[in-house]
Every structure is written in structure tokens, then in C-alpha cells.
Amino acid sequence: MPEFLQFLLSGITVGAVYALVALGFTIIYNASGVVNFAQGEFVMLGGMITVFTYAAGLPLPLAALIAILATAAIGVALNTLAIAPARGAPVVSLIIITIGASILIRGATQLVFDKQLHRFPAFSGDTPIAIGGATILPQSLWVISGAFAIFLLLWLFFTRTLIGRAVLATANNRVAAQLVGINTNFVMTLSFAMSAAIGALAGVLVTPITLTSYNIGLAFALKGFAAAMIGGMGNPKGALVGGLLLGILEAMTAGYISSQYKDATAFIVILVVLFAMPQGLFGSKSTDRV
């Protein structure tokens, strides 16, 4: 039983990171219908920029803040330089652009920084906390509460605020959104900034546990994508549940079967979900008029 609890706790920690990545997917998807495969690079940038600003002598909170803001700026640049000029192109082309952007960001990071693995100290020390025979790192608690806090803020943002609803309206029908006075270019810029900042936050929170390097982005992008698909693309609740579910399943597979099959779980689950309920757990059914 303590074994099970241990797997559960580590699953929730990893799941919380996947949830944060999936929440990043959710925002850009909600605004534009685009699945941004550069989302994982935002996670990597958050960690890497923190590592190097911290090494340069800045206090850790300030280094983290700079990393999040810089990543948000890179997100905005991605939209302005690559996505916005291609507006009107089919969504598939835009998705391919994001894949290209992710390769570019990975390559640039390798040149600007290096190819080593890095970490910075955990926020509240490395002494494990014992819970019912299992242990959890204080940093894991940071990761988990970070994911829940961001989920709550996003949920309120999309359901309660005017600008959040403007994001949804833009996704639903861009022309109609402009007709009712929504500045759709601003909505897109804001979405990329928020997405990138959330990705970077995930990177900052998780680096003390998993370490970071220029090439960790792709794995996060794929897992986050799987999580978002399981939960139903576009729904913050789905992103959270999907992320946690995926994290727990992975930890259980690694614990009870073999860590060799850990990554396979994600993709088996995504296949099963897509066959059984293509809209995901919380996705809304879409019907097109013919």
C-alpha cells in the first residue's frame, strides 16, 4: 500500500506538469484553433533561462520572473512573426509552423546556452516529507499547487471576464468577433503571451526535480498534447484532469510493470480515448451544418 501511495504521489507531481502544459495548449487552441507544438519549448525556456540568470547571480525568484517574462515575449514574437502573417492559412499549416518554430527555438537555445543538463535549488529545500509511508518532495507540492492555481485562474478568466470571453468568441468566429468590437489581433497576442508564461512557469517549477536541458521540450509537448486530448482540447478542466490522469497512469505503469513502458502508456491511452470518445472527457460535441 505505501508503494501504491508513492506511485500515486509521483504520478500527481508529473501529472501536474502535464496539466500545466495542457493548459497552455488550451489557451492558444481556444483563441485560434491551433495546436501549438512549440508549447514544450516554453517549458524548456522557462527552466533554461532561470538556470542561466540564477547562475549570473540573481536571486532565484527574480531569475524565475525574468524567465517567465522573457518566455512570454518569445511567445508573442512567435505569434507576430510566424502565426499572424500566415493568418488565413489552414489550421494544419499553422500547426506545422509551430513545429518549425519549436525546432528553431531548440536549436537557438543550444547555441545561446549549451547542451548540458542543468538544475537550480528547490524552492523549499530537498528534505522529503513523509505521508502515510510514502514521501513527497517539497518541490512537488510547489508543482501541484502551481498547476491548481493556474487552472483556477484560467477557469475564472474564461468564464467570468470579458476579455476571456473575447478569446472564446475569437475562436468561435473571428469575423463575428471583430463585428462586435473585439480586437482579435490583441486577443491572439494575449493568448500567446499567457500560454508561453504558463509553460515557462511549469519549467521553473519542475526543473529542480527533473533537471532541464535544451531538448526536453518535445517530450513535454507530446505529453501535454496527450493530456489535452484526453481531457478534451480547449477545456481547462479537461486539461487538468487529463494531465493528472496521464501522470498517474505513467507512474503506475512504471511502478508495477516497467518504466520501459511508461511512455507507451500515454499513447495507448490517447488512442483508446480517441476511439471511444473523440471529443475527450470534457470536450463539447461539434456539429457542422451542411
Least Å distance, CB 168 to another protein, is 8
Binding site residues, another protein, CB under 8 A? 156-157, 160-163, 165-166, 169, 172-173, 175-184, 284, 286-287, 289
Look at the chain and count its residues: 290
CB 34, CB 192: distance < 8 Å: no
DSSP labels, 245-257: HHHHHHHHIIIII
Query: Where would I find the beta strands (DSSP E) of the chain?
Result: 129-131, 134-136
How many CA atoms are closer than 13 Å to the CA of 111, on its beta-carbon side? 6
Helix (H) or strand (E) holding 42: helix 39-55
Residue 130 or 179: which CB sits closer to another protein? 179
Residue 83 or 182: which CB sits closer to another protein? 182
Least Å distance, CB 186 to another protein, is 9
CB 203, CB 212: distance < 8 Å: yes
Residue 112 or 156: which CB sits closer to another protein? 156
Least Å distance, CB 82 to another protein, is 21
- Cα-to-chain-centroid distance, residue 141: 18
Residue 37 or 158: which CB sits closer to another protein? 158
Least Å distance, CB 154 to another protein, is 11
Residue 57 or 181: which CB sits closer to another protein? 181
Least Å distance, CB 110 to another protein, is 39
- Looking at the DSSP bridge assignments, the partners of residue 135 are 130
Least Å distance, CB 164 to another protein, is 8
The DSSP letter of residue 115 is S
Could you tell me which of 203, 188, 243 has the C-alpha nearest to residue 75? 188
Residue 140 or 184: which CB sits closer to another protein? 184
